[in-house]
Amino acid sequence: MTEYNFAYLDEQTKRMIRRAILKGVAVPGYQVPFASREMPMPYGWGTGGVQVTAACLTPDDTLKVIDQGADDTTNAVSIRKFFQRTAGVAVTESTPEATMIQTRHRIPETALTEGQILVYQVPIPEPLRFLEPRETETRKMHELEEYGLMHVKLYEDIARHGEIATSYAYPVKVEGRYVMDPSPIPKFDNPKLGGSAALQLFGAGREQRIYALPPYTQVVSLDFDDHPFAASKAPHDCDLCGAKESYLDEVITDDRGSRMYVCSDTDFCAGRRGHGHVGRLGVPMEGTA
Amino acid sequence: MMGQLAITPMAQDVPLLQVDGVTKRYGQRIGCADVSFDLFPGEVLGIVGESGSGKSTLLSCLAGHLRPDLGRVMFDTAQGPKDTLTMSETERRRLMRTDWAYVHQNPRDGLRMGVSAGGNVGERLMAVGARHYGSIRDSATDWLTRVEISAERIDDRPSAFSGGMQQRLQIARNLVTGPRLVFMDEPTGGLDVSVQARLLDLLRGLVRDMGLSAIIVTHDLAVVRLLADRLMVMKSGRVVEQGLTDQVLDDPQHAYTQLLVSSVLQV
């Protein structure tokens, strides 16, 4: 690839993004403004995540891209191809083999390790956005740690639904200081945010914000004393690999109400099936016992 | 002006609020000029005047919404009197959600219209750290009852409430943390007379029961007659007369006050 600079962005831009990332790492959970560039993809497709990935990528990296846990969906495939063409880096679908993982809406089931970087695509970085529309005011609220409003949202959930019905983009407090939107990951993944061995970076392209969780950061999901946070998932086992503890997608299989539940993390599911686990509707993979 | 404090019936040793020479200009024009007064615990001060007389500007300056160009606003905090204009913004905003309350003329400005009545009342509690849903809800129910809103409407949004109910909800939302000083900007504006009467009755009861100090801005002399111990009359940004409410209304000294009192329609 000679037509593009390594990883598409020019060096000055990557430098600018790296500075924002370093600031974000220094102040966990704080939204750092950065001069987001136009990327050759529409807003909402991960322009923020792609810029963060491009700024962190080295020629020695192995990249994995997932969309809702899957390696083979449009968004994941096109971003992976993008970096194959513009950076020429190795790509993989295996979580442990990857050194950089760009993700949309999921954290891989396999525990991350030290040295890995997880990059999130973030549509709306401001957790208070739908409660307080003024950006000047929300910045002030972050500055002065005025987060009572976040609990008003949870109060409304309980008043209306009898429980905290927020099931994704569940707000967290980082190191007892900043309230952060963990991007639209299911709240099932929230416990994996805290104490993770990997560096977690969040990029919002349209909103021009970067924030970060350094490894082993304390992350607490907000809740009430009498309505504690509970990570939730569909009460089923994976129908392909039989996993009990993974986050599941519901798949409608016909027009008479039949459905199956499968792991949303395709690499995790395939790995288990490769080891001979078979679920309710699964068939053993070729080459396994 | 300070000499008149001696006649204040509820005068105690330390004033809750000491206002000294507050001046706010909008360019060349005067918003309010050189306003000074002391407010003692449990006292209700009325500020009356026609539209444009600077009473709302003054209230905004006192409540920290506007920054006056000159003057001091000393509030008797737990750590002794402090100038609210020079204290840090963190401190001032903490005051705003604990010791102070602000009742807007239009309840839509003071309420979150997309949040249920219970959430509106609970917001201040959660802002000062309440994290127990059950007890927040109990306080909200209690306060809705105290402002004569049926407890079964706790999960309705304010947009489903009448104007009078919205105003009462706003009052409940402000008083739930037990503030010591309430700022009210035309609390009865835009309500019809019978609803006004009920609201005034309610306010009078709450102010007496909780021993609140209040500063009420209004152009309605009947409101101050009912609620205020002391009255300040403003014209063109300046205080032209102040004293006990009955004294000022029954025996107005300044020409403008005389005009104001005589302009009230007798039914």
Tens of pLDDT, residue by residue over A205-238, are 999 999 999 999 999 999 999 999 999 889 999 9
Cross-chain Cβ contact A155/B154 below 8 Å: no
Q: Give the Cα separation of A193 and A185 in Å (integer).
A: 10
Q: Give the Cα separation of B211 and B16 in Å (integer).
A: 12
Mean pLDDT of A157-175: 94
pLDDT confidence bin for A289, thresholds 50/70/90? very low
Q: Is A224 on the interface with B (CB under 8 A)?
A: yes
Cross-chain Cβ contact B123/A227 below 8 Å: no
Cross-chain Cβ contact B90/A144 below 8 Å: yes
pLDDT at B264: 80
Q: Which of residues 128-187 of A touch B (CB under 8 A)?
A: 131, 144, 146, 148-149, 151-152, 155-156, 158-160
Cross-chain Cβ contact A226/B132 below 8 Å: yes
Residues of A labelled as active-site residues: 29, 238, 241, 263, 269
Structure tokens at A194: 């805290």
pLDDT confidence bin for B2, thresholds 50/70/90? very low
Q: Give the Cα separation of A160 and A45 in Å (integer).
A: 33
Calculate how close chain B gets to A144, using CA atoms only, in Å.
6
Q: Give the Cα separation of A210 and A217 in Å (integer).
A: 17
Mean pLDDT of B95-99: 90
Using a CB-CB cut-off of 8 Å, the residues of chain B touching A159 are 116, 118-119, 137, 154-155
Cross-chain Cβ contact A146/B127 below 8 Å: yes
Mean pLDDT of A34-57: 95
Partners of A15 in the beta sheet?
A: none
B124: number of Cβ within 10 Å: 23
Instruction: Report CA B159 to chain centroid distance, whole Å.
Output: 23
- The answer, yes or no, to whether residue B190 has pLDDT greater than 90, is no
Strands (E), chain B: 17-26, 29-39, 44-48, 70-77, 80-83, 100-103, 181-185, 213-218, 230-235, 238-244
- The answer, yes or no, to whether residue B130 has pLDDT greater than 70, is yes
Cross-chain Cβ contact A152/B119 below 8 Å: yes
Mean pLDDT of A263-272: 95
Instruction: Report CA B201 to chain centroid distance, whole Å.
Output: 16
Each residue's pLDDT tens digit, B72-91: 999 998 888 899 989 988 88
Q: Is A220 on the interface with B (CB under 8 A)?
A: no
Tell me whether residue A143 is exposed, middle or buried, using C-beta atoms within 10 angstroms of its C-beta: 0 to 12, 13 to 18, 19 or more. Answer: exposed
- Least confident residue range of B133-137, B186-190, B256-260: B186-190
Q: Give the Cα separation of A163 and A166 in Å (integer).
A: 9
pLDDT at A264: 95
- The answer, yes or no, to whether residue B267 has pLDDT greater than 70, is no
Q: Considering only CA atoms, which of B54, B39, B34 is closest in space to residue B4?
A: B39
pTM given for the model = 0.87
Using a CB-CB cut-off of 8 Å, the residues of chain B touching A144 are 89-90, 93
Cβ neighbors of B11 (< 8 A, separation 6 or more) are: B5, B40
pLDDT at B52: 87
Query: Running DSSP on this structure, what letter comes out for residue A38?
Result: P
pLDDT at B3: 43
Q: Give the Cα separation of B171 and B182 in Å (integer).
A: 10
- Least confident residue range of A177-181, B52-56, B116-120: B52-56
Structure tokens at B83: 């100038």
Q: Give the Cα separation of B127 and B123 in Å (integer).
A: 6
